[in-house]
């Protein structure tokens, strides 16, 4: 396992950069941090995923507190998402632990491949979110409550698998599907619900990776020391930065990184 012996300035600066981007766009935490650790710093993929999951749990706990205070969390949606994601996360972690014991190389290859594809899908979801949502809503209309709840549980299960494997998907992919399932709901409430659900999801998955020995605690501290002020800076700048510029740049970056992970 990749080990750090002390706080690291380069990791903190990386956390600052990603934090600013998350504050500006609302997405990109796991999508950027995990491949950055793997490709730029040479961190083992399983360690990068495990550490990033606990990093996400810490940052999104703060976000949930803010949304909870503003009453922009639909707790029934959070519960439905968790009903799917919790068992899916436990099952995925169990399978990963078996692979790590008997075939560490295949487990590493599985995570790298899944991460590459997750980044490609995320880049499409970011770039074409409005088009995708508009097309889907025209085709399906507003779902009746029971069907919407069932699809929300299914979404949670998919996110449980994806996030446990790659730490990617809870933000961009989750929000895209929630916008399709609940087209009449205030977007701020969907954002708050997505962030609130990400806390137990990333915490459970991160603890599972920690039990498998794939969390670097000093790396985590270094990342958080940069990302927390970064998110504040990004949030303050968000109103002054055109979304039409940021999202294509972010999507293009994720597309290139995803291709790199797969080749």
Whether the predicted pLDDT of 28 surpasses 70: no
Between the alpha carbon of residue 62 and those of residues 52, 55, 57, the distances in Å are 16, 11, 9
Break the chain into its structural domains and give their ranges: 46-262
How far is Cα 257 from Cα 75, in angstroms, rounded to an integer? 34
How far is Cα 220 from Cα 216, in angstroms, rounded to an integer? 6
Between the alpha carbon of residue 118 and those of residues 114, 195, 257, the distances in Å are 6, 19, 11
Q: In which band, very low, low, confident or very high, does the pLDDT at 76 lie, cut at 50, 70 and 90?
A: very high
Which pLDDT tens digit goes with each residue over 192-205? 888 889 889 999 99
Task: Confirm whether pTM is higher than 0.85.
Answer: no
Which pLDDT tens digit goes with each residue over 79-88? 999 999 999 9
Residue 68 is predicted with a pLDDT of: 82
How far is Cα 127 from Cα 246, in angstroms, rounded to an integer? 10
| Lowest-confidence pick of 10-19, 142-151, 173-182, 225-234 | 225-234
239 CB-contact burial (10 Å; exposed 0-12 / middle 13-18 / buried 19+): exposed
User: Minimal CA–CA distance to 89: which of 162, 177, 154, 178?
Assistant: 162
Q: In which band, very low, low, confident or very high, does the pLDDT at 2 lie, cut at 50, 70 and 90?
A: very low
């Amino acid at each position: 396992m990749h080990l750090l012996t002390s706080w690291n300035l380069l990791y903190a600066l990386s956390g600052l950069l990603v934090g600013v981007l998350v504050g500006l766009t609302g997405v990109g935490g796991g999508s950027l941090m995990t491949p950055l650790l793997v490709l730029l710093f040479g961190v083992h993929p399983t360690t990068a995923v495990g550490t990033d999951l606990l990093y996400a749990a810490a940052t999104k706990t703060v976000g949930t507190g803010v949304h909870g205070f503003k009453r922009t969390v639909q707790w029934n949606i959070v519960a439905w998402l968790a009903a799917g994601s919790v068992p899916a996360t436990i099952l995925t972690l169990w399978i990963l632990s078996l692979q790590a014991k008997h075939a560490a190389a295949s487990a590493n290859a599985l995570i790298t491949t899944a991460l590459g594809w997750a980044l490609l899908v995320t880049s499409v979801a970011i770039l074409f979110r409005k088009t995708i949502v508009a097309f889907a809503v025209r085709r399906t209309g507003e779902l009746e409550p029971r069907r919407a709840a069932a699809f929300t549980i299914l979404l949670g299960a998919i996110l449980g698998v994806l996030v446990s494997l790659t730490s990617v998907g809870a933000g961009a992919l989750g929000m895209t599907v929630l916008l399709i399932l609940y087209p009449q709901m205030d977007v701020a409430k969907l954002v708050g619900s997505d962030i609130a659900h990400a806390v137990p999801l990333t915490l459970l998955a991160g603890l599972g990776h920690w039990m498998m020995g794939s969390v670097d605690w000093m790396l985590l501290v270094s990342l958080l020391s940069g990302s927390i002020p970064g998110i504040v800076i990004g949030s303050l700048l968000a109103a002054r930065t055109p979304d039409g510029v940021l999202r294509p740049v972010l999507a293009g970056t994720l597309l290139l990184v995803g291709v790199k992970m797969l080749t």
